[in-house]
Amino acid sequence: MANLPPDGLLYDPDITTQEEIDTFRAFYKRTKGYSLPAFEFWLDLRPDVLKRYRANYRREVSSAEEKLRPIPHVLAMLHYYVIVGYGDGVLYELKLAQSEGAARGECLDAMAFAFINAGPMGMDAAGASSLEFMKNWTQDDEVLSPSRWPPGWSFDRDAFRSGMDFATPEASRHDLQAVQDWYQSRLGEVPKYVQFLVRHRPNFLKALRNRYENALRDGLPKEMVPYMLLFFNVVRGFSEGIREAVLLGRSFNMTKSQLTDAICWASYYGGMDGITIAEQAAGELLDRM
């Protein structure tokens, strides 16, 4: 059969040939290391379900821009899998990220940022599945493309600097004013959780910001923070987090299409209801971009 797509599955869901199945399995083995049991289930019992998933959903979720640069959604998936403790998924996405040209340090940054929400429970599964892979990942394994990120995306630790002094754990009056000024400057508003912690647990707020401001160390573009947070908050249906992520992405000059990519990829686990919540939380913000 000629002209099979990269994953091997043609559009017609009612006819699936052995050649399509073999090519699909080879595609997953090449890019992720193995064919997922989730997909093997449908290949054996209902190939049409898998083909509709691939043809009508996965291939159409991305904008034309992201189809050329899939690393953002791959690392958003990695971030989410670390948080929920899906160890197999963590390793799967790391292998995919490597095959797509991501750097080891970029993946570590994404995992470090995920640890803020994952805690030991999520990292226990992530560590068990991926530690050896990450230890053995060397620069010799990397074939980095300068075009792997969208134009204008860049690593910039200073973008998250609030001006808090992390040399001491106690939050001073200056620290609290600085962090509120950072949110006002970036988002145009101060989130409710920041207001709450300023009043009731200022040292805890400082500790959280210390983690937030220093998670990215080894090259992950700053734009991945709002992308990952937008994906995560659409999945869990948290409207305030969706709004904050869109505002932060807008302040980093992300495009409407890039933010929409994160929202649509989140429907992977958040479903159509997640997109409804995104519309309610940030639809007007996106419309004005």
Nearest to 124 by CA among 85, 75, 89, 88: 85
**Residue 243 is which amino acid?**
R
Cβ within 8 Å of residue 46, ≥6 positions away:
none
Nearest to 180 by CA among 211, 209, 153: 209
Confidence of residue 4 (pLDDT cuts 50, 70, 90): low
More confident residue, 122 or 55: 122
Residue 53 has what pLDDT?
85
Please check whether residue 185 is in contact with residue 178, taking contact to mean a CB–CB distance below 8 angstroms: no
**What does the alpha-carbon distance between residue 157 and residue 254 come to, in Å, rounded to a whole number?**
17
Percent of the chain with pLDDT over 90: 74
pLDDT at 280 over 50: yes
pLDDT at 55 over 80: no
- What pLDDT digit, counting tens, does each position of 133-158 carry? 999 998 776 778 778 899 999 999 99
More confident residue, 11 or 57: 11
Confidence of residue 5 (pLDDT cuts 50, 70, 90): low
pTM of the predicted model, to two decimals?
Answer: 0.92
- What pLDDT digit, counting tens, does each position of 71-99 carry? 999 999 999 999 999 999 999 999 999 98
DSSP string, 107-173: HHHHHHHHHHHHHHHHHHHHHHHHHHHHHH--GGG----TTSS-TT----GGGG-----TTSSSPPH
- What pLDDT digit, counting tens, does each position of 175-228 carry? 999 999 999 999 999 999 999 999 999 999 999 999 999 999 999 999 999 999
Residue 1 has what pLDDT?
44
**What does the alpha-carbon distance between residue 179 and residue 198 come to, in Å, rounded to a whole number?**
9
pLDDT at 3 over 80: no
Mean pLDDT of the chain: 92
Mean pLDDT of 159-178: 98
Confidence of residue 287 (pLDDT cuts 50, 70, 90): very high
Percent of the chain with pLDDT over 70: 95
Residue 2 has what pLDDT?
44
Residue 279 has what pLDDT?
98
Range with the poorest average pLDDT among 91-105, 227-241, 271-285: 91-105
More confident residue, 266 or 140: 266
Q: Centre a 10 Å sphere on the Cβ of residue 159 and count the other Cβ atoms it contains.
A: 17
